[in-house]
Amino acid sequence: MAVSTTSAPITYATRVDKVGARYQFTRALRIAVVVLYATISLIPVFWMVTAAFKSRPDVVAIPPKVFFTPTIEGFISLLTKRVLLPPGMMEEYKQRTDLNFAERIMAERGQRITGPSQYGQRLLNSVIVASASTVLSVLLGVLAAYAFSRFNVPGKGDLLFFILSTRMLPPVVVTIPIFLMYQQLRLYDTHLGLILLYTVFNLSFAVWLLKGFIDEIPREYEEAALVDGYSRLQAFRKVVLPQAITGIAATFVFCLIFAWNEYAFALMLTSERARTAPPSIPTVLGTGGIEWSAIAAGTLGFLVPVIIVTFALRDYLLRGVTFGALRK
Amino acid sequence: MQLTRTQTARVHSRRSLTDVQIQVLFIAPTIILLVLWNIFPLFYSLYLSFTEFSVIKPDVPPAWIGLQNYNKLLSDPRIWQYFTLTGRYVVTTVALQAIVGFGLALFLRERFKGSGLITTLILIPIMMSPVVIGLFWKLIYNPAFGIFNYLIGYSVPNSGPDWLGEGSRALWAIIIVDVWMWSPFVMLLCLSGLKAIPDYLYEAAAIDRASPWFQFWRITLPQVAPLLLIAILFRTIEAFKTFDLVMGLTGGGPGDATELIAVHLYRAAFTRFTTGESSALAYIILVIVIAVSNLYVRSLNRIRGENH
């Protein structure tokens, strides 16, 4: 056979335009371009991760340093409040034997740790707000999506469009009245206020995405369950929910990423108690100048949870995008 | 006492809800939340936009001044300047994202060893918080110790351009970051569109010896167009609202060179506290977003109509 010299295995299903040197060449070229893009686009991420482990002089070194001695200085500055040691006291302070690991590192930089910073609290706020609002919007979303998918709700088309249109509103437009409303209702700077707001902003998306998934589940399953004596609610819980788990996971990831990263509302509707991490990372300023390694450390600590969740649910994520966009 | 199956069913139906009750119970919470958090604020800010009011003076009630806020805004040349800036920004960044994203999707559509991993790696920027990304790129753009200038070929420190320090460059600096961050999103949508194209179309084209160029224009592009347009629609709306990224990267500066309209609105509403006037500005923005989305949705429907 003349074509058997090419590396691709020839089967009956192989198309004539997918064998031969020219195809092999363009394929290699495609892969090269994609790999190159991925590499370039990861440079900033790489730079951020390394900056988190750089010492203060290393992070602003001229020319930029790719190789350096790692240190956890950045993480310590992120998590603590510090004061500068007066030059006279420096030697004496360094000689003290009761210093712990972190205090010793900062003493080398001429700083004394005075207490924990707010970062831990802010990160905890982020965890509370993001998880509660995500769970709430997925829960409400799955209920509404089920009802829209299975019943002939009066005015269904209009209601669904209404739900979608709320997503088109720029957040800044509704922020001013919500700010006023929250001050009246005493929801300003509370966890509950942010949770409800994020829930609402994710809800429209959740309903649309989940409806697509539930539409896919054959009605026959539930009908069989109803015939067998299940009530509607039982059929929903025991038959539909397990089948919709892919969609629920996909929706969960999207809502979580939004709520976790949200900045504008958090900036305008919280101040101290309920402030989440995104508006506070830019304010991690140290003694004199921007502490880049502390900011990088804060960013890293903030990025890791969402990467873990996304990675764990990555297959659902891809399916989620496909369904959400293809199903109309 | 042993119940038969029909008896069990009857017990259940007596205790459980009717279908209508379930509908109300399942849908009502969603609708109520959306009305309270979206519709009510919308009407409230419409009212405020016709008044003179400031949230930091809660004792002074809103004073009705009719269309004055709108008059003032629409005759202010700076507002027009910010809108033009935003328009330039949106068109450039969305166009670049569409090209890069669609190109990547074309290259990634045929699976190869490791293509799944590469796709996931390319998607990482989407997961990051825009404000933090903005902040971090500030370090990367720094003319003295940032790596950006080194990577594009300026090996002597401080010899390269100061990306965030000069007005016209600062906008490009933001566009570069936005394209880096969101092209993968366009890619993801296009990829799912490409994977849905039935193989037989290409098989038929191959049998007819149609050129790859012809296949691209007559099969690939028309088939992906709806999804590409959805991606562009999402991105346009989002780009119009760009706020986080700018706040992290330039804060609107230098001067007001990167003061996109959403940033300007934030400054008016939450640093100058001109609440009534900002509500009017918010409404002008809303009308523009709705008009633009409408244009897109129409062209989307037209493309869909041609396909069927």
Same structural domain, B117 and B28 = no
- Residue with more model confidence, A217 or A140: A140
Say which residues have a Cβ less than 8 Å from residue A172's Cβ, sequence separation at least 6. A264, B241, B243, B262, B265, B266, B269, B282, B285
The percentage of residues in chain B with a pLDDT greater than 70, rounded to a whole number, is 93
What is the rounded distance in angstroms from the CA atom of residue A287 to the CA atom of residue A279? 20
Residue B68 is which amino acid?
A: Q
**Residue at B70 is within a domain:** no
Residues within 8 A of A (CB atoms), B 243-262 only: 243-244, 247-248, 262
CB contact under 8 A, A172 and B107: no
Contact (CB<8Å) A229/B104: no
Which helix or strand (DSSP H or E) is residue B51 part of? strand B51-52
Are the beta carbons of B38 and A151 separated by less than 8 Å? no
Model confidence at A118: pLDDT above 90 = no
Residues B16 and B159 in one domain: no
For B259-272, what is the mean pLDDT? 88
- The amino acid present at B22, given as its one-letter code, is I
Do you find a cis peptide bond into A177, omega within 30 degrees of 0? no
Claim to verify: residue B178 and residue B272 sit in the same structural domain: yes
Q: Are B282 and B139 in a shared domain?
A: yes
The minimal CB distance from A263 to the residues B115, B130, B188 is found for B130
Would the CB atoms of B157 and A162 count as touching at under 8 Å? no
Q: Please state, in angstroms and rounded to a whole number, the distance separating the CA atoms of residues A163 and B29.
A: 12
Does one domain contain both B143 and B287?
A: yes
The pLDDT tens digits of the residues spanning A96-106 come to 777 777 777 77
Cross-chain Cβ contact B135/A282 below 8 Å: yes
Q: Does B162 contact A at CB distance below 8 Å?
A: no
Of A246 and B64, the one with more pLDDT? B64
Q: What is the mean pLDDT of residues A222-250?
A: 87
Task: Provide the pLDDT for residue B104.
Answer: 94
* pLDDT number for residue A312: 80
- Residue of chain B nearest A327, judged by CA positions: B227
| pLDDT in the model for residue B66 | 84
Q: Are residues B25 and B114 in the same domain?
A: no
Residue written as tokens 């972190």? A102
Q: Which residues contact B122 (CB under 8 A, 6 or more apart)?
A: A34, A37, A38, A41, B104, B184, B187
Which residue of A34, A39, A258 to mutate against B (max B Cβ within 10 Å)? A34
| Whether residue A157 has pLDDT greater than 50 | yes
Residue by residue, what is the 3-state secondary structure of chain A?
A: CHHHHCCCCCCCCCCHHHCCHHHHHHHHHHHHHHHHHHHHHHHHHHHHHHHHCCCHHHHCCCCCCCCCCCCCHHHHHHHEEEEECCHHHHHHHHHCCCCCHHHHHHHHCCEEEEEECCHHHHHHHHHHHHHHHHHHHHHHHHHHHHHHHHCCCCCHHHHHHHHHHHHHCCHHHHHHHHHHHHHHHCCCCCHHHHHHHHHHHHHHHHHHHHHHHHHHCCHHHHHHHHHCCCCHHHHHHHHHHHHCHHHHHHHHHHHHHHHHHCCHHHHHHCCCCCCCHHHHHHHCECCCCECHHHHHHHHHHHHHHHHHHHHHCHHHHHHHHHHHHHCC
pLDDT band for B303, please (50, 70, 90 cuts): confident
Co-location of B172 and B280 in the same domain: yes
Amino acid at B295: L
Residues B250 and B133 in one domain: yes
Interchain contact, B120 vs A311, CB within 8 Å: yes
Chain A neighbors of B25, CB-CB under 8 A: 143
- Check CB contact under 8 Å for A34 and B107: yes
**Closest CA of chain B from A187, distance in Å:** 13
Task: Mark whether B144 and B292 lie in a shared domain.
Answer: yes
How many structural domains are present in chain B? 2
- Residue A38's closest chain B neighbor by CA? B122
Interval B222-237 mean pLDDT: 84
Q: What is the pLDDT of residues B126-166, one digit of tens each?
A: 888 888 888 889 888 988 888 888 888 887 777 788 888 88
pLDDT of res. A147: 92
Whether residue B10 is found in the same domain as residue B97 = no
Give yes or no for residue A1 having a pLDDT over 70.
Answer: no
pLDDT category of residue B255 using cuts at 50, 70 and 90: confident
B72 located within any domain: no
- Residues of A within 8 A of B184 (CB-CB) are 41
Chain A residues within 8 A of B41 when measuring between CB atoms = 174, 176-178, 181
SS3 B63: strand
Identify the band that residue A37 occupies on the pLDDT scale cut at 50, 70 and 90: very high
Confidence of residue B101 (pLDDT cuts 50, 70, 90): very high
pLDDT at B96: 97
Q: Report the chain A residue with the minimal C-alpha distance to residue B5.
A: A229
Cβ pair A47:B151 closer than 8 A: no
**Closest CA of chain B from A70, distance in Å:** 18
What tokens were used for B282?
């918010």
% residues pLDDT > 70 (chain A): 87
**Per-residue pLDDT at B1:** 45
Cα separation, A143 vs A160, whole angstroms: 14
Q: Would the pLDDT of B121 be above 50?
A: yes
| pLDDT at site A285 | 54
Q: Where residue B218 sits, what CATH number does that domain have? A: 1.10.3720.10
- For B:7-66, CB contacts with A below 8 A are 8-9, 12-13, 15-17, 19, 22-23, 25-27, 29-31, 33-34, 37-38, 40-42, 44-45, 48, 55, 58
Distance CA A180, CA B200 (A): 58
Q: Which tokens go with A81?
A: 């409040």
Q: In this model, does residue A327 exceed pLDDT 50?
A: no
Arithmetic mean of pLDDT, B207-212? 86
| pLDDT for the residue numbered B175 | 95
**Would the CB atoms of A174 and B196 count as touching at under 8 Å?**
no
Of B41, B55, B121, the CB nearest to A174: B41
> What angle in degrees, to the nearest 10, is found between the helix axes of B130-141 and A292-312?
130
Would you state the pLDDT for residue A5? 46
**What is the tens place of the pLDDT at every residue in A292-319?**
888 888 888 888 888 888 778 777 766 6
Averaging pLDDT over each range in A1-15, A28-42, A91-105, B28-42, which range is the top one?
A: A28-42
pLDDT at residue A195 is higher than 90: yes
User: Which chain A residues touch B16 with a CB distance below 8 Å?
Assistant: 231-234
**Residue B135 forms contact with A (CB below 8 Å):** yes
Which residue range forms the structural domain that includes residue B123?
A: 77-307
Q: Is the pLDDT of residue A67 over 70?
A: yes
CB-CB neighbors (< 8 A) of B259 in chain A: none
Say whether A144 and B112 touch across the interface (CB within 8 A). no
**Interface size, chain A vs chain B, as Cβ–Cβ contacts under 8 Å:** 266
Q: What pLDDT shows up at residue A129?
A: 95
More confident residue, B210 or A288: B210
- Find the residue in A nearest to B200 (Cα): A15
Separation in Å, CA of A105 to nearest CA in chain B: 24
pLDDT at res. A16: 61
Task: Report chain B residues whose CB lies below 8 A from the CB of A15.
Answer: 202-203, 206
**Are A278 and B17 a contacting pair at CB < 8 A?**
no
Shortest CA gap A96–chain B (Å): 36
Name which residue leads in pLDDT, B16 or A102. Answer: A102
Residues on chain B touching A296 (C-beta within 8 angstroms): 136
B68 lies in a domain?
Answer: no
B180–A44 C-beta distance less than 8 A: yes
Residue B197 lies in a domain: yes
Would an 8 Å CB–CB cutoff place B295 in contact with chain A?
no
Indicate if B167 and B223 belong to the same structural domain.
yes
Residue A133 burial (CB count, 10 A): 27
CA atoms within 13 A on the CB side of B225: 18
CA distance A114 to A94: 15
| pLDDT, average across residues A266-288 | 78
Minimal C-alpha gap between A258 and chain B (Å): 9
Looking at CA atoms only, how far is residue B168 from chain A in angstroms? 23
Residue B57 lies in a domain: no
Looking at the fold, whether B36 and B89 belong to one and the same domain comes out as: no
Amino acid of residue A64 = P
Which residues of chain B make contact with A140, given a CB cutoff of 8 A?
29-30, 33
Mean pLDDT score across all residues of chain B: 84
Q: Check residue B181 and give its pLDDT.
A: 94
User: Do the Cβ atoms of A46 and A80 come closer than 8 Å?
Assistant: no
Q: CB distance from B198 to chain A under 8 Å?
A: no
Strands B63-64 and B51-52: antiparallel
Which residue of chain B is at minimal alpha-carbon distance from A307? B127
Q: A-chain residues within 8 Å CB-CB of B108?
A: 34
Q: How far is CA B217 from CA A33, A212, A327, in A?
A: 22, 30, 24
Q: Is B252 left (phi over 0), alpha (psi -120 to 50) or beta?
A: left
Question: In the prediction, which pLDDT does A318 show?
Answer: 63
Name the residue with tokens 């979580």: A256
